Amino acid sequence: MPQPKLIRITTIPLSLEKLLEGQLSFMSNYYDVIAISSEPERLLEIGKKEKINTFSIPLTRKITPINDLICIFKLYLFLRKERPLIVHTHTPKAGFIGMVASYLARVPIRLHTVAGLPLMEASGFKGKILILIEKLTYKLTNKIYPNSKGLHEFIVTNKLTRPKKSKVLGNGSSNGIDTSWFSKSNFSIEEIENFRKELKIPSNDIVFLFVGRLVKDKGINELVESFQRLSKEHQNCSLLLVGPFEDHLDPLTESTKKDIIDHEKIFTTGYQSDVRKYYALSDILVFPSYREGFPNVVLQAGAMGMPSIVTDINGCNEIIEHEANGIIIEKKNAAELYMAMKNLYENIELRGKLSDNSRKMIIDRFEQKEFWNILLNEYRSLQ
C-alpha cells in the first residue's frame, strides 16, 4: 500500500535547508514527502540530500500580485494531480500561496507553521495588507503552529485566528536542535586556533558572534554601534558577523556598513552553510533582533555551550533565561546592548556560569528527534 503524501512548502529553499534540515528525511519513513519552493537548482540539491522529491514554483518574498496568482494556479494544478493527504507550509508568502491553492484543491489536512511575523514591525498600509494576508492564510488552514509561546499569544490576542486553531508543539521551535551535531566536542583546541588564524582574529580576543542576515531588523545597526563603543575601552575583543547582507530587502545604514568595512576588529564571512566552527571559535552570541519566531541561531549557540545576549522578544525569551544561560535586553536599545556586552566581557565568573548552563538547558528542552516525533504524532492525530 502506498504511503500517504505529505507536501512541505517554503518560499525559498534556504528555509527548507535551515528550518527543516533532517526533518523531511525523517518524515519520508512514514509519508511520500515532496518539498516545494523556488530556485529549482538549489531545491533539487536539498531534495537529493534529504532523499525526497521536489517541485519548484517561482515564489518571491516580496508582494508580487501577478506572479503570486501564477504560483497559486501552478500549485493548484500540481496538488490536483498529486492529491496529497497533508500540505504543511512555512514562511509567510509560502503560507498564503500554499493555503489558497490547497483549499481550492480540497487537500484534506492543511497546516501552517508561523515562525515570525513581519507585520509586527510593519505599519500603515503595508501593515494592514500583511494582517489581511495572515488572517486569510489562517482561515484556510485546519491548524496553525506558532513556533513559540509568545507568537501564539500575539496571534490570539490580536484575534488573527480562533484560539483553538493555534497550537505550540513541544517547547517551541520548528525543528528542535541536533545536539550531537552542534557540539563543541566535535572540534579540537588546535582546530579552533586554526579557525581564528584563518580569519585573522587574535588568539586572546573575546569574540562576540552574530549569525544571520545582516539587516536592520536583526539589530545590526545597534550591534555595530555597541561594539564600536566597547572596543574603544577594551582592545582585546572582536566582532564576527556570519551571514549575508540583504540591501534589497532591509538595508543597514550607510554608517553601519562603513563601520563594518573599516573597523579592524569586525570580521565578516558572508553566508555559510556550516556555521559550527564559527560558534566553536567564539565566546558570546549577540542576537539583538527586533522580531523572531523561534530562532535556531540561539538554540545552536546554546548547544555549542555559548551564553547569548538576546532581545526580549518572542522565542528568544523562551530559550534564554536571564542570567541563567544568557542576558535578555530591551530591543532597539544600543545603550543596554553595550552594557550587556561590557558585563560579559569583564565578568569572567558570570560568563563561565552562563556557559556551563547553556548546553544542558538546550538538551533538556529542545532535542531534535523528540520534536520530530511530536510532529509525527500530531500528523497522525489529524488523519
Q: How many helices (H) and strands (E) does the chain have?
A: 16, 12
205, three cell numbers: 580576543
Name the helix (H) or strand (E) containing 309.
strand 308-311
326 shares a domain with 218: yes
The torsion of the CA quartet 317, 321, 323, 324, rounded to 10 degrees, works out to -150
pLDDT in tens, the chain (383 residues): 789 999 999 999 999 998 899 999 999 999 999 999 999 999 999 999 999 999 999 999 888 899 999 999 999 999 999 999 999 999 999 999 999 999 999 999 999 999 878 777 777 887 888 889 999 999 999 999 999 999 999 999 999 999 999 999 999 999 999 999 999 999 999 999 999 999 999 999 999 999 999 999 999 999 999 999 999 999 999 999 999 999 887 899 999 999 999 999 999 999 998 999 999 999 999 999 998 889 999 999 999 999 999 999 989 999 999 999 999 999 999 999 999 999 999 999 999 999 999 999 999 999 999 999 999 999 999 99
| Cα of 359 vs its chain's centroid, Å | 19
Shared domain check, 198 and 88: no
In CATH, what number is assigned to the domain containing residue 239?
Answer: 3.40.50.2000
Range of the domain at 222: 184-366
E strand or H helix that includes residue 382: helix 368-382
Tell me the per-residue pLDDT of 44-77, one tens digit each, with 9 for 90 and over: 999 999 999 999 999 998 888 999 999 999 999 9
Same domain for 361 and 374?
A: no
78 and 44 within one domain: yes
> What gap in Å lies between CA 256 and CA 247, rounded to an integer?
12
Are 154 and 254 members of one domain?
Answer: no
Q: How many CB atoms lie within 10 A of CB 254?
A: 8
| pLDDT score at 124 | 84
pTM of the model: 0.86
Please indicate, yes or no, whether residues 79 and 64 belong to a single structural domain of this protein: yes
Point out which residues pair with 240 in neighbouring strands. 209, 267
Task: State whether 81 and 148 are in the same domain.
Answer: yes
Residue type, 250: D
Q: For 27, phi and psi rounded to 5 degrees?
A: -65, -25
Q: Say whether both 45 and 34 belong to one domain.
A: yes
CA distances to 156, 162, 168, 339, 362 from 165, in Å: 10, 6, 10, 41, 28
339 in the same domain as 297: yes
Calculate the alpha carbon distances from 235 to 65, 202, 258, 285 in Å: 51, 11, 20, 19
Instruction: Provide the number of structural domains found in the chain.
Output: 2
On whether both 24 and 102 belong to a single domain, the answer is: yes
Residues 135 and 16 in one domain: yes
Q: Are 77 and 101 found together in one domain?
A: yes
Task: Kindly give the interhelix angle for 296-303 and 348-366, rounded to the nearest 10 degrees.
Answer: 110
184 Cα distance to chain centroid: 21
Q: How far apart are CA 11 and CA 70, in angstroms?
A: 14
